Structures are given as structure tokens and as C-alpha cells.
């Protein structure tokens, strides 16, 4: 009997016939895992998270608590059935950093979620004998009895103020109407205070450490969401939760966040050698943007109802909890603010996009498009907004595409094709090419269409080039020959062995695009475009009426507008109206971390936004069907493309 092992984040799977260790399976699948001791179980460098049918010998390298959370040594774990393995960054041989930047919007005035204030408190005497707490309130200019203070902190207060000679730093939570004491300590006089902005994506988690005194970002880190081993998209995660996996998913996102916090804490030292390293206790606020399902999984809320009609969440505006309530390892009393979501499929990540774009404050009507595993579109201005969501598919994030990958080192991000159908490309960090990321795929399809390598329907044409070939199922176009891809020790070793392995990306190392891939990409762009058209129809506005089109999402930084219009992903309007926001969800979370006004705006956006459900919308299906062509069935919608194409 054979079984399948999936490796994440590389997203390759291998079919096994025999019971081998995770390390051996990874080797066969071309997944590189650290193993300094050569599989003896002593170096502890091959730590992985596993899920599924495995058996593992206990190891001194893994604590009981880690064991319970699913950590194992790859070399000491035998696979005997279907399984998923997440190889964390620290166990990967190569450091494939995800490249993300973010637009934050402006923050006119710093009013962060938490504020630290150094206080010299008047010493009590018979004339001024206020209680310690009321004395602190007076010093903070708060009315008596208005400060909430955790019981443990109130118990410590007399000692803290007296040990320091009445000189303390007080950290307040300003997220609510009523201030709450996060911390009072006597070991710092500078008012140092830090916060974290966090974007929890279905695939990627990005975190920024922010100095709350200055509003400056000190360090940023990103990694895969470790939950991908339990399902690649939102629906798969919900299904996993329904199978009793909710707590597992919560632990995995906490692991992901925790790893990134440890990264930025280290980076805070590297980036600012003259300033004392930030410690976790000094991080006293967090602002999180994420889609509704991701927020549910973080909070431990069951996402089941999100999956079934009428698609309701447990909460779209969760209260502000304390870090300790959610098991997030920063200051235990730190408030965890969550950007409110509008609906089950237009979450806080989209509201954060809006915040970062400023769409909700402008007179002119604008469109905002967020392309991720799900696609979301918002249309509006300062008076109204309307939004919808479509299942775009993961094509632009490298999913369900033969040689697809995230925007990491070695990803092809730009492509041109010459008259002889020979491609030129550019990779991230100019490293040896590893695969195609979102912007590379857009370029590639656009160029193939321009030179006639694909027709309107997206079928690859037999143009007589050796790069076009039949792969047994369909035609494919070879972008990079295997000999030009990166030759690692592992891939060389793999070639030396002559077994036939299951994982697609390993069957020969040519980087290709297939008919099936192009069909996927067309479905994705058609869904996005159709969603935008539904919103425009709903308020009787044309693309040409739009003042701005904001583009958000991890792939957005590298996108070539001209080529995106060419394939019909973006509307054919003047190019200067497009604004790239990068990771706007992170930007929105960042601005909410720093500004009370933005937090108020987030609530207003929640209140004023109309949500259109597309699953029951006939208009959407009509638009979608029309958009399943390059660039579109109604070619008059793309006048500049009509004029340019070689063999239209």
C-alpha cells in the first residue's frame, strides 16, 4: 500500500511504498532539512512539525511540551501512512526569505494602543495621603477610580513605588474608553515601549516590531503560516478544525507568531547596535489584521459556521484581549487589538487594506483589490463602501501551478519573450531560478499571449519552438531548462539516484508552465475582474470613472501593470491611476497600532461597508464566464490591448 507525505512550506508531496524516516522522505522529495549528526538523533537540528501517521522515538532534544505540540526529530520519526510535515525555517538548509514591503498610510498624530510614561510621584504625607493607586491616577491626570489594574499588579504596587523612591514607569492600555494598567515598573526611566503589527495570512505571516515612542518600525520578519500543513486554504483549515483540529491549528499559528517575535527581538539588537535589545516584556501592545478564519483560529473560536450558508462568524469585532488570554508571549497584560472584519470572507485584513489606502477618507470613488488565496475587492469613498470576496485560488501565490512558488529568493519575477519564443527573466536576489512567483506568472502569460504562444482561450500553441512540448497530459512551455536551475547538493544527489519519485517539481527540474497552469491563472484573474465588475454594477460606475485603483497583496510590489492589463487582471484605464500598496494588511495593522483615529476609522469602515455575497449572485457568474478569455470576451473593454496584440 502506498501513502503520501506532503512537505511544507515547499509544498511538495511524495508517494512512498515503504516505511522510511521523515528525513529520508524529505531527501527523496528534494526537501532540504538540516542534519548535522547524519541522522543519529543527537544534533537536534532536524526538528519538524508532523501531523498524520508517524511513529517517533522520544528524544532529549524535544521537551515534553514541544512533543505535545507535534515537534519531532525528522531522523527519529518513521512514516507509515499519509502525513504532513512542516520544516521550520531554522531546520531548512537554505534561508528563503519572503519579500514583503508595506504601505502604512499616514499617521498624523501618535496615539498608540499602549503608552509608557516615566513618573516622579509626590511622596505621601499627612496632607496628601491618597492611596497608592489614587496617587498614581492623580499623577497620570486620570480621574479617581478610572484606572483598571490587574489584581496581581495592585498587590505589587506598594512595593514597586516604594522600592524606587516613587519613581516609576507606568504603561497604559489606551485601546478602550477607560485606561488600563499594563505595567508599572521601576527599572526604566526612558519610557521605552514597543508594539507589534501582525498580518496573519492563510499562507504567510508577517510581523513588524514598532517603537511606540517614535512610530518607527525597528525590525520586520515573515514566515509561512505553519498551519499550511493542515490545509492550504481557508476551507481546508476549517475542515481540519471540524475534524477536531482547532486547538492544533491555534497552537500552530501561535508557533508561527512566536518564532517571528523571537526573530524581530534578535533583529532589534542587530538593527540598532547602540540601543538595548528589546525584550518581550517591553512589547506591550499588538495590532493584528487577518482574514476572519485566521482570526478565529488565533482566538480559538470554531470557524465551522464560516464554511456553511449563511456564512456567519463567531465575532467580527472581537474585544481587546490580553496577551496572556491568547497565549501570545509578549507582556502578559499587553492588549491584543484585532482589526475588525466586515464579514466571514471580507475580514480585518481587507479593512486594514482600506485603512492603509485611505480610500475611506477621499471624496473620489476608488477600487481596492487584494489578491491572495482569496480575492477581495472594495469599492467606495468617504461616504460609502461596498465589498465582496471571490475564491481566486492560490495561482498568484504559487499554488496549483507546476513551477509556482512564493516571492522568495530565486523566484522568477519578471519575464519577457522575444520573437523566437526565447524567454529572458529576472529572479529575486538574482539567484539561480527556482520557480515562478505571482508577478512572474503574470508577465509570462502576458508575454506568451503577446507573441502568440497562447491564444485567447489560454491554450498553448504549437509554434515550432523546442520549448513547447507535450507532457503526456497537455502542452507545456519550458521557461528554464533544468541545467540552468540551481544545482544544490541535494538535487545532484537526487539525480544520482534513479528512482521515480512522486513530487511533480522533482520530475526533471525544468521550470515550465502548462495548459492547466494557464487555465488556473485565467480563472483567478477572471474571478478578480468579475468581482470588481459586480461592485461597479451595483453602484452603476464604470472603470473609467475610478479615480484610483489600489492593489494590495504580497505579490503586488512586483506586478507589471501593463502586463496585468494585457491578461485582463486589471482594467484598461490610465496607468497612473494604479497605486501599489504592498502588504497593506500589515500597513493597516501598523497604523491601527499607532493611531486611535485609525482604530476609530476601522470601526466606521466596519459599520459603513456593504457586503455583497457572490455565491448567490448571478451577475458574478455572467461576468466570470465572460472574463475566461485573454484579456476578455468583450475585447472592447481592453482598447489598448486590442491595438497592441500581434496575432489577435
| Residues found near a second copy in the complex (CB under 8 A) | 124-126, 129-135, 144-145, 147-149, 151, 154-155, 157-159, 176-178, 299-302, 304-305, 309-319, 321, 325-326, 340, 343-344, 603, 606-607, 613, 616
Q: How far is the CB of 237 from a second copy (least distance, A)?
A: 17
For residues 306 and 518, what is the distance between their CA atoms, to the nearest angstrom? 30
Whether the CA torsion 223, 403, 521, 311 is positive or negative: it is: negative
The 8 Å CB, 24+ separation contacts for 307-312 are 307/235, 307/238, 307/239, 307/242, 309/615, 311/343, 311/344, 311/345, 311/613, 312/344
Instruction: Find the shortest distance in angstroms from Cβ 257 to a second copy.
Output: 16
Toward a second copy, which CB reaches closer, 1 or 126? Answer: 126
* Cβ 252 to a second copy shortest distance, Å: 17
**What is each CA distance from 558 to 100, 354, 580, 644, in whole angstroms?**
10, 20, 9, 22
Contact 198, 286 (CB under 8 A): yes
For residue 479, give the nearest of 535, 421, 549, 527 by alpha carbon: 421
Give me the phi and psi of 599, to 5 degrees please.
-65, -40
Q: Closest separation between CB of residue 589 and a second copy, Å? A: 17
Which is closer to a second copy, CB of 305 or CB of 626?
305
Q: Of 148 and 545, which CB lies nearer to a second copy in the complex structure?
A: 148
Residue 257 or 417 with smaller CB distance to a second copy: 257
The rounded distance, in Å, linking the Cα atoms of 63 and 53 is 21
Task: Spell out the alpha helix ranges (H) of 322-475.
Answer: 323-326, 348-357, 438-450
Nearer to a second copy, 42 or 305 (CB): 305
The nearer residue to a second copy, 137 or 560, going by C-beta atoms, is 137
DSSP characters for 122-165?
A: PPP-SSS---HHHHHHHHTTPPTT--B--HHHHHHHHHHHHHTT
Of 133 and 434, nearer to a second copy (C-beta) is: 133
Non-local CB neighbours of 603 within 8 Å, separated by 6+ positions? 317, 340
Q: Which is nearer to a second copy, 310 or 472 (CB)?
A: 310
Cβ count within 10 A of residue 84: 19
Task: Specify the residue, 155 or 495, whose C-beta has the smaller distance to a second copy.
Answer: 155
Residue 66 C-beta: closest distance to a second copy, Å: 24
Tell the smallest beta-carbon distance from residue 346 to a second copy (Å).
Answer: 11
* 515/276 Cα distance (integer angstroms): 55
- Least Å distance, CB 360 to a second copy, is 17
Least Å distance, CB 39 to a second copy, is 41
* Nearest distance in Å: CB 325, a second copy: 5
Nearer to a second copy among residue 155 and residue 420 (C-beta) = 155
* Integer Cα distance of 241 and 302 in angstroms: 7
CB contact at 8 A, 222 and 266: no
In angstroms, the CA 224 to CA 238 distance is 18
Minimum CB–partner distance for residue 336 and a second copy (Å)? 10
Spell out the alpha helix ranges (H) of 398-514. 438-450, 489-496
Amino acid at each position: 500500500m502506498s501513502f503520501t507525505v506532503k512537505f511544507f512550506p515547499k509544498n511538495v508531496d511524495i508517494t512512498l511504498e515503504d516505511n522510511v524516516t521523515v528525513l529520508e522522505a524529505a531527501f527523496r522529495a528534494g526537501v532540504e532539512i538540516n542534519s548535522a549528526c547524519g541522522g543519529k538523533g543527537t544534533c537536534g537540528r532536524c526538528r519538524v512539525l508532523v501531523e498524520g501517521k508517524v511513529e517517533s522515538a522520544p528524544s532529549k532534544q524535544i521537551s515534553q511540551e514541544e512533543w505535545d505540540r507535534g515537534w519531532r526529530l525528522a531522523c527519529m520519526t518513521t512514516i507509515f501512512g499519509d502525513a504532513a510535515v512542516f520544516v521550520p525555517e531554522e531546520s531548512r538548509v537554505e534561508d528563503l526569505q519572503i519579500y514583503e514591503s508595506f504601505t502604512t498610510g499616514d499617521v498624523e498624530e501618535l496615539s498608540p494602543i499602549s503608552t509608557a510614561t516615566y513618573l516622579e510621584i509626590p511622596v505621601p504625607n499627612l496632607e496628601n495621603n491618597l492611596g497608592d493607586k489614587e496617587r498614581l491616577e492623580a499623577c497620570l491626570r486620570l480621574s479617581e477610580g478610572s484606572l483598571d489594574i490587574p489584581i496581581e499588579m495592585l498587590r505589587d504596587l506598594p512595593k514597586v513605588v516604594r522600592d524606587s523612591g516613587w519613581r516609576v514607569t507606568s504603561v497604559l492600555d489606551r485601546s478602550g474608553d477607560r485606561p488600563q494598567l499594563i505595567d508599572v515598573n521601576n527599572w526604566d526611566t526612558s519610557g521605552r515601549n514597543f508594539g507589534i503589527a501582525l498580518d496573519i495570512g492563510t499562507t504567510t505571516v508577517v510581523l513588524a516590531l514598532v517603537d511606540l515612542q517614535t512610530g518607527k518600525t525597528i525590525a520586520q520578519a515573515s514566515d509561512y503560516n505553519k498551519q499550511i500543513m493542515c490545509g492550504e486554504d481557508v476551507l481546508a483549515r476549517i475542515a481540519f478544525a471540524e475534524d477536531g483540529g482547532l486547538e492544533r491549528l491555534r497552537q500552530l499559528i501561535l508557533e508561527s507568531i512566536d518564532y517571528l517575535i523571537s526573530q524581530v527581538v534578535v533583529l532589534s539588537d542587530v538593527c540598532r547596535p547602540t540601543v538595548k535589545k528589546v525584550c518581550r516584556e517591553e512589547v506591550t501592545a499588538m495590532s493584528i489584521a487577518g482574514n476572519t478564519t485566521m482570526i478565529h483560529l488565533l482566538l480559538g473560536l470554531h470557524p465551522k459556521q464560516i464554511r456553511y450558508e449563511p456564512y456567519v462568524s463567531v465575532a467580527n469585532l472581537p474585544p481587546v484581549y490580553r496577551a496572556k488570554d491568547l497565549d501570545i508571549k509578549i507582556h502578559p497584560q499587553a492588549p491584543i487589538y484585532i482589526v475588525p472584519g466586515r464579514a466571514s470572507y471580507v475580514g480585518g485584513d481587507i479593512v486594514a487594506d482600506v485603512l492603509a489606502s485611505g480610500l475611506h477618507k477621499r471624496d473620489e470613488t476608488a477600487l481596492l483589490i487584494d489578491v491572495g488565496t482569496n480575492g477581495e475587492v472594495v469599492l467606495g469613498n468617504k461616504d460609502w463602501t461596498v465589498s465582496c470576496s471571490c475564491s481566486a485560488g492560490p495561482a498568484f501565490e504559487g499554488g496549483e501551478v507546476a513551477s509556482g512558488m512564493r516571492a522568495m529568493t530565486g523566484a522568477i519575477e519578471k519575464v519577457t519573450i522575444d520573437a523566437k519564443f526565447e524567454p529572458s527573466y529576472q529572479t529575486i536576489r538574482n539567484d539561480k531560478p527556482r520557480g515562478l512567483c505571482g508577478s512572474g506568472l503574470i508577465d509570462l502569460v502576458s508575454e506568451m499571449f503577446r507573441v502568440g504562444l497562447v491564444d485567447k482561450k489560454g491554450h498553448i500553441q504549437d509554434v515550432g519552438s523546442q520549448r513547447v512540448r507535450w507532457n503526456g497530459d497537455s502542452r507545456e512551455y519550458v521557461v528554464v531548462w533544468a541545467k540552468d536551475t540551481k544545482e544544490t547538493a541535494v538535487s545532484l544527489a537526487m539525480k544520482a539516484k534513479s528512482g521515480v519519485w512522486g513530487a511533480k517539481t522533482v520530475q526533471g527540474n525544468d521550470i515550465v508552465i502548462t495548459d492547466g497552469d494557464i487555465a488556473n491563472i485565467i480563472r483567478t484573474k477572471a474571478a478578480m475582474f468579475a468581482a470588481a465588475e459586480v461592485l461597479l454594477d451595483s453602484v452603476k460606475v464604470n472603470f473609467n470613472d475610478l479615480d484610483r485603483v489600489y492593489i494590495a497583496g504580497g505579490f503586488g510590489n512586483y506586478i507589471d501593470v501593463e502586463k496585468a492589463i494585457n491578461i485582463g487582471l486589471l482594467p484598461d484605464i490610465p496607468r497612473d491611476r494604479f497605486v501599489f500598496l504592498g502588504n497593506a494588511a500589515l500597513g493597516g495593522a501598523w497604523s491601527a497600532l499607532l493611531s486611535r483615529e485609525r482604530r476609530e476609522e476601522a470601526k466606521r469602515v466596519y459599520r459603513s461597508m456593504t457586503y455583497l455575497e457572490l455565491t448567490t449572485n448571478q451577475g458574478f457568474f455572467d461576468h466570470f464566464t465572460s472574463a475566461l478569455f485573454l484579456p476578455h470576451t468583450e475585447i472592447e473593454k481592453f482598447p489598448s490591448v486590442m491595438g497592441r496584440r500581434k496575432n489577435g
